[in-house]
Structure 1
């Protein structure tokens, strides 16, 4: 009855199904939904719009703001979920009543909207979480219309050709210090342009005036990767509300110990850190006790060493779940022995290594991580021509990527990866064969 009431409109049927998944599964309630849908189809020429409006009206209050916010993104745009969830948190849409993070709650809200067929799942990550999402054109129109009715946001679709006083807008070539006067700012993302006249870019110490800032993202364009030209002040360690610090390649963030006598404040809310050539001194991990996601680029050609950057201290990041270590130049393990006492954080769920030449004892540490679900090994990430596996290792691994490794032999049995769902092997040109026993792993997805 409900499908018939949708007038043969596929999107309307899908959205109606999304409504039904969240209501009481009783005959009375379903008949009520069918009657409502039938009435809007019968009384309006714009059948899509009215049925979609009905789906919006059935959203819980906590999801309506999240949904309307998505109307601010461009049409046919693949929305990065990592950005979207940070924006939802910064806007204060979420209320947390359980012992988990606001970001986790934001991801659950997004999954809820996807299940209701109001948001498109464009692409998922290797761990199964949504990486990019989007809106159907008709749903975006609904989003914008409802948002304007409620004065939630206003979307300007026209392109402004003229600028008052004949001024031009460009890619910023320096950090605009006026931003530091915006005391209530919670989310700040900047794209700075490198020019020949300005060999380096400096973030001013006055950035610490933004005491309630949650997310700071800075990307620099137009420089050689090996040049570190974005200099960050130690005052960043004096911003206690920070949740996400993301600086792309070419950034220099001072360690807390070397920056100030006081060492800054403990950033208890910091969950994400993305930076270059960072040293993990003993004081550093004390400053970021709740860090969950860490991504570091190392481009030190002559002295890229595990000891120099104190990477043996990573084990003290007890809440860390995602770790990505990328070396632009291949790590010189011959002159820098791998620390005998090295260990990865015990709660790691996702680990990505690139050009770090991890020796046999390093792999022994990885294979016993109890919570590891995703492992990506790229560009000579490990040393040796043979990777031996044994029972009891990688107990929860679901995703394995091997790319441009120098492996020749990989003896594997079906019992070695008991939970493996996806295996990707790219350009491992010296690998003699792929053991047929891999095909006997029961959890492996075709």
Structure 2
């Protein structure tokens, strides 16, 4: 976790160097500047040459963490004493004297840790000089190919997958659940196209990529199809030489003899090319980890338009798509329950009948493998060695994940490869996934805020921290380490999960790296007496929280709670360096005043019990580093209009705030006396009866997401100045709910205008005129529009050409719309159309089906006429050869 520690330390140093209030840090400015320079040097080294720093990583991590602990402790004590007479250096009294001695002790550690980091820098400089690193391009793992010569003793690497069959009769078992995949791959291999085609197969480690490729490779029909076949295992630390040797050996079976001992790299390359030239060949590049590997060998493969094929297997989506972006990717899916049980049964009983008394527990074990074939094969091997009785199988069932990893070293190595291949900046983000409970749905909006508060994200000129975090997550998904659970209407990830066995890898690596500790009931009882002096992050899924008040963790930065309770930490002084208190599962009757002493807090989330309102005290201004404040009511019982949150005017002084998320904020305090704008604020939701005055707009100039709720009798829009929304020029997402008891639905304000950057618009409880819809259609970047409990004037909507140029998703629910006149060219980018609860609309316009980008029409089962209409549109499109359009019927 060296990279994350360096990024976080660099941020702390940068902030301290900007401080002019504290004499201690003014005195230490030269040392801090030097330290920052060294930190950035090491950070760049890890980014550019990750493979050269593996043996240094632990030392860099420990030194960077220690430096940060010292600096943040000193800052905490300086700030705590600044409100009283004197300073940590001058205070009187026995307790003050003790604190003074501790302060001085920490201060004296600063030169030593600075020297430690400087020593590491000197070692890195030596490494770079000895390797002549300046002549090597960043990311290179070997010298340029033109200088490669065959080593004196070399042999092709063996496959790392346990799925490669060695016996002909093993293939049927190995392909359980992959029959359709095999058929699809064989169809592509033996298709009529004569162009050289690529067949990329990708998915997480152990999911069966190599098995699928091997079964296709050895299929009699495929063997008959090709003149030459070659299987090359690339692997993580590939060698171009060894890849060439393997190709030469494969060609020998079809060609004249070739003595590679007497030929150079260039001669072997030429020999392979000439041997493949004019022949129909099939080459499998198995377990490819980088695009560079393909760049190194691509010129070896001629394209003679004779039907040759290249299969690539990889865990990385980007690598799969690299050779030919036009080739469809074949993504490996998890096995379902039936397939998992069939594979387990065949492996354990070798095709024989399973004893009836073991079938039930056997299915439980199969289900616990969560559809991962490698896990099933490993656990089957274990079951084959124990007594075939219920007691033995139930014992294994209780600890399937542990049994898998403990009984197959190869399995652990396969999963660990994915981690060791991660760039340094992604490693902490990946290990963080282990902090969530098993099968937990992780909401991306929350995860991104946590990563940012942890300090994992490097500052960037071109993108925000949030955008960078979303890119990190997409990268982990492309590497098959994180699973997408749900996507948003715009295609971005809404929530994600990790496979149980991958989560186990996260937890074990996190503990090994001193990164995160998973606390269980049994573990709490064991460790509380000794404290947690070396722990930086705690994940507490099901612990006895009453015991946590005894924990002493002076360097703990993070608490992640996942169990409901009405108790918090009573001695927050024991966690003076805490950055994250994710306590949504902890419930309070009022704002927890005990957190106000946690100066370093960046992320605070909790639940409140009170039925009416939650008052945030003015003293919240002490949390000057707070980035995210999330407060929600205890349960749906309290999620009513009486549940309100009241912010003090001091909120305008908290310059680091980025996300204010509440169920119902009772408007914003008067900013007239504020001297600073909340320039970093990106999210503000949900605000009751929000007054969008010019002053407010100027105070939140970079807001990207805004949620508003209006309720009353006879709402007067002029009072709320919503015409000023157009001046929120960075606003991308806007939700407005309206509940006016005097009329239902309510006409929108007269001067309807929105900022041009708006990408997502959700409106509820509104009545639209034709000119309103024209305003919506004129938004150049609008991608998602949701209209809920909304009506159209005259119950008619007539669209116009040129509107909604980038709209991808249109969702309308609960409306009395009767007539919809449109054309396919009026929604040129539409992909997803959802129409639910349309009692008056007889049919969907047929021209909707002619929209070339449309992928899904979603209708509710209650709207039978729309269901029939959607099905008719789909049938008509199928008759025209369009098989991509789907109709989804929602039952709710």
Verify same fold: TM over 0.5.
Answer: yes
Instruction: Name the residue aligned to 2:604.
Output: 188
What is the alpha-carbon distance in structure 1 between the residues aligned to residue 627 and residue 290 of structure 2?
A: 33
What is the alpha-carbon distance in structure 2 between the residues aligned to residue 243 and residue 50 of structure 1?
A: 40
Instruction: Name the residue aligned to 2:500.
Output: 137
What is the alpha-carbon distance in structure 2 between the residues aligned to residue 176 and residue 416 of structure 1?
A: 53
Q: 1:334 to 1:226 in 2, by over 3 A?
A: closer
Per mean C-alpha deviation after superposition, the further-off stretch among 435-444 and 225-234 is 225-234
Helix, strand or coil for the counterpart of 1:370? coil
The answer as to whether partners of 1:305 and 1:333 remain within 8 angstroms in 2 is no
Instruction: Name the residue aligned to 2:413.
Output: 50
The answer as to whether partners of 1:408 and 1:431 remain within 8 angstroms in 2 is yes
What is the alpha-carbon distance in structure 2 between the residues aligned to residue 52 and residue 369 of structure 1?
A: 46
Instruction: Name the residue aligned to 1:283.
Output: 695
Q: Could you give the per-residue CA deviations for residues 335-372 of structure 1, whole angstroms, max 9, x where no partner exists? A: 97732x32111111110000022333222211110001
Q: Could you give the per-residue CA deviations for residues 203-254 of structure 1, whole angstroms, max 9, x where no partner exists? A: 10111111111011111234361224322212111110001011113x2133
Instruction: Name the residue aligned to 1:217.
Output: 630
Instruction: Name the residue aligned to 1:172.
Output: 588
Question: How does 1:311-326 map onto structure 2 within 5 Å?
Answer: 311-326=722-737
Does residue 12 of structure 1 match 2:395? Answer: no
Per mean C-alpha deviation after superposition, the further-off stretch among 399-408 and 151-160 is 151-160
The alignment yields a C-alpha RMSD, in angstroms, of 3.1
- Quote the offset at 1:163 in angstroms: 3.2
Per mean C-alpha deviation after superposition, the further-off stretch among 305-314 and 128-137 is 305-314
- Quote the offset at 1:48 in angstroms: 2.5
The answer as to whether partners of 1:78 and 1:132 remain within 8 angstroms in 2 is yes
Does residue 254 of structure 1 match 2:663? Answer: no
Does residue 309 of structure 1 match 2:724? Answer: no
The answer as to whether partners of 1:316 and 1:345 remain within 8 angstroms in 2 is yes
Instruction: Name the residue aligned to 1:38.
Output: none
What is the alpha-carbon distance in structure 1 between the residues aligned to residue 158 and residue 820 of structure 2?
A: 53
Question: How does 1:27-66 map onto structure 2 within 5 Å?
Answer: 45-66=408-429
Question: How does 1:27-426 map onto structure 2 within 5 Å?
Answer: 45-158=408-521, 159-161=542-544, 163=546, 169=567, 171-195=587-611, 199-221=612-634, 222-223=637-638, 225-249=640-664, 251-257=665-671, 261-274=672-685, 275-298=687-710, 300-329=711-740, 332=743, 338-339=749-750, 341-380=751-790, 382-426=792-836
The answer as to whether partners of 2:630 and 2:661 remain within 8 angstroms in 1 is yes
Does residue 431 of structure 1 match 2:431? Answer: no
What is the alpha-carbon distance in structure 2 between the residues aligned to residue 123 and residue 187 of structure 1?
A: 25
The answer as to whether partners of 2:435 and 2:518 remain within 8 angstroms in 1 is yes
What is the alpha-carbon distance in structure 2 between the residues aligned to residue 320 and residue 107 of structure 1?
A: 18
What is the alpha-carbon distance in structure 2 between the residues aligned to residue 358 and residue 430 of structure 1?
A: 17
What is the TM-score of this pair, normalised by structure 1?
Answer: 0.88
Q: Could you give the per-residue CA deviations for residues 141-186 of structure 1, whole angstroms, max 9, x where no partner exists? A: 0001111111111011334448359997362111111211111000
What is the alpha-carbon distance in structure 2 between the residues aligned to residue 176 and residue 333 of structure 1?
A: 40
Q: 1:336 to 1:388 in 2, by over 3 A?
A: closer
Helix, strand or coil for the counterpart of 1:12? coil
CA radius of gyration, larger in: 2
What is the TM-score of this pair, normalised by structure 2?
Answer: 0.45
What is the alpha-carbon distance in structure 2 between the residues aligned to residue 423 and residue 338 of structure 1?
A: 27
What is the alpha-carbon distance in structure 1 between the residues aligned to residue 468 and residue 701 of structure 2?
A: 21
What is the alpha-carbon distance in structure 2 between the residues aligned to residue 266 and residue 382 of structure 1?
A: 39
Q: Give the gaps of 5 or more residues in structure 2.
A: 1-155, 164-173, 175-202, 211-235, 237-286, 298-310, 316-377, 379-405, 522-541, 551-564, 568-585, 856-884, 886-892
Q: 1:153 to 1:403 in 2, by over 3 A?
A: same
What is the alpha-carbon distance in structure 1 between the residues aligned to residue 208 and residue 670 of structure 2?
A: 51
The answer as to whether partners of 1:15 and 1:116 remain within 8 angstroms in 2 is no
The answer as to whether partners of 2:745 and 2:765 remain within 8 angstroms in 1 is no
Helix, strand or coil for the counterpart of 1:262? coil
Q: Could you give the per-residue CA deviations for residues 53-110 of structure 1, whole angstroms, max 9, x where no partner exists? A: 1110000000001101111111100000000001111111011333211100100000
Q: 1:14 to 1:290 in 2, by over 3 A?
A: farther
Helix, strand or coil for the counterpart of 2:520? coil
Q: 1:15 to 1:3 in 2, by over 3 A?
A: farther
Q: 1:11 to 1:337 in 2, by over 3 A?
A: closer
Per mean C-alpha deviation after superposition, the further-off stretch among 330-339 and 141-150 is 330-339
Q: Give the gaps of 5 or more residues in structure 1.
A: 35-40
What is the alpha-carbon distance in structure 1 between the residues aligned to residue 516 and residue 745 of structure 2?
A: 58
The answer as to whether partners of 1:228 and 1:252 remain within 8 angstroms in 2 is no
Per mean C-alpha deviation after superposition, the further-off stretch among 304-313 and 279-288 is 304-313
What is the alpha-carbon distance in structure 2 between the residues aligned to residue 342 and residue 349 of structure 1?
A: 17
Helix, strand or coil for the counterpart of 1:240? coil
What is the alpha-carbon distance in structure 2 between the residues aligned to residue 417 and residue 372 of structure 1?
A: 12
What is the alpha-carbon distance in structure 1 between the residues aligned to residue 517 and residue 745 of structure 2?
A: 59
Per mean C-alpha deviation after superposition, the further-off stretch among 396-405 and 151-160 is 151-160
Q: 1:356 to 1:20 in 2, by over 3 A?
A: farther
Helix, strand or coil for the counterpart of 1:296? strand
Instruction: Name the residue aligned to 2:340.
Output: none
Q: 1:229 to 1:350 in 2, by over 3 A?
A: closer
What is the alpha-carbon distance in structure 1 between the residues aligned to residue 794 and residue 463 of structure 2?
A: 40
More helix by share: 2
What is the alpha-carbon distance in structure 2 between the residues aligned to residue 118 and residue 405 of structure 1?
A: 42
Helix, strand or coil for the counterpart of 2:414? helix
What is the alpha-carbon distance in structure 1 between the residues aligned to residue 607 and residue 545 of structure 2?
A: 23
What is the alpha-carbon distance in structure 1 between the residues aligned to residue 295 and residue 770 of structure 2?
A: 62
The answer as to whether partners of 1:255 and 1:284 remain within 8 angstroms in 2 is no
